[in-house]
Amino acid sequence: SQTIHQWPATLVQPVGSPLSLECTVEGTSNPNLYWYRQAAGRGLQLLFYSVGIGQISSEVPQNLSASRPQDRQFILSSKKLLLSDSGFYLCAWSGLAANTGELFFGEGSRLTVL
Amino acid sequence: AQSVAQPEDQVNVAEGNPLTVKCTYSVSGNPYLFWYVQYPNRGLQFLLKYITGDNLVKGSYGFEAEFNKSQTSFHLKKPSALVSDSALYFCAVKAGNTGKLIFGQGTTLQVKP
């Protein structure tokens, strides 16, 4: 069966420090991968998605970047964090063949920028 | 552009009563619609989806949703609510061919004993 892992689960970082959140998927190949941010426990904003290695689409201009160095690895990064980067970050995957299909989410990474 | 709206920030029901969480959508073409549930500090869990076919879709944990094309709605329902159903519920619509989903703002369901 497929599983998705995110780490770290929680992170407290000072303003101006770098960030790296990692997401890996097991049990499937060539998934679509997504990074969402959830602010204040409400709506989800799509940040990035990837349909293959090295292929990243950005949905909103921001202080963050994403990379996909391997088929089942998706990384969210920042060189210098802002206070506004605080939030709950969710990684998700979907199968390419099932373009009607649902997304499967990881357990999230909570980032607090102080 | 595709979008979904959840008009209620919070829904309160008594345990054992039926519940409805509302969702309306705006899409071009045939809609692919989804419901998710989120418990505090957890990821989203898939409940059910509508792609085509029967307008009444059954999903996990006894939930179902009714697709209504004329009203562009996809309301989530359950005949008898449980306290453990208390959580944040999201409606979503598929956008484009990359599989990405556009989510509503979420509705908090509070089931009281």
> In sequence order, which residues have a C-beta less than 8 Å from that of residue B93 and are 6 or more positions away?
B2, B3, B4, B25, B27, B31, B32, B33, B34, B101, B102
Q: Which domains, from first to last, does chain B contain?
A: 3-112 (2.60.40.10)
- Rounded to an integer, what distance in angstroms lies between the CA atom of residue B40 and that of residue A6? 16
- Please name each of the domains of chain A with its CATH number: 3-113 (2.60.40.10)
Contact state of A90 with B44 under an 8 Å Cβ cutoff: yes
Which chain A residue has its CA at the smallest distance from B99's CA? A99
| Chain A from 26 to 55: CB within 8 A of any B CB | 32, 34, 36, 41-44, 46, 49, 51
Beta bridge partners of B45: B37
Q: Tell whether the model's pLDDT for residue A100 goes beyond 90.
A: no
> Lowest mean pLDDT: which of A65-79, B6-20, B25-39, B86-100?
B86-100
Contacts of B51 in chain A (CB under 8 A): 100
Q: Which of A109, A78, A77, A73 is nearest to A93 (CA)?
A: A73
Q: What is the pLDDT of residues B24-43, one digit of tens each?
A: 999 888 889 999 999 988 99
Q: Which residues pair with A36 in a beta bridge?
A: A46, A90
Looking at every residue in chain B, the average pLDDT score rounds to 94
The number of angstroms, rounded, from the C-alpha of A65 to the middle of its chain's C-alpha atoms is 10
Per-residue 3-state assignment (H helix, E strand, C coil) for chain B: CCEEECCCCEEEEECCCCEEECCEEECCCCCCEEEEEECCCCCEEEEEEECCCCCEEECHHHCEEEEECCCCEEEEEECCCCHHHCEEEEEEEECCCCCCEEECCCEEEEEEC
**How much is the pLDDT for B81?**
97
The radius of gyration computed from the CA coordinates of chain A, to the nearest angstrom, equals 13
Give the chain A residue nearest B43 (alpha carbons).
A107
A28 CB neighbours in chain B (<8 A) are none
Q: What is the pLDDT of residues A21-40, one digit of tens each?
A: 999 999 988 999 999 999 87
Whether the CB-CB separation of A63 and A81 falls below 8 Å is answered with: yes
Q: Which member of A44, A94, A100 has the closest CB to residue B103?
A: A44
**Residues A39-92 pLDDT 10s:** 876 789 999 999 999 999 998 878 899 999 999 999 999 999 999 999 999 999
Cβ atoms within 10 Å of B113's Cβ, excluding its own: 7
CA pair distance B22, B65, nearest whole angstrom: 10
- Cβ-based neighbours of B1, under 8 Å, separated by 6 or more: B26, B95
The Cα of A100 is separated from the nearest Cα of chain B by a number of Å equal to 7
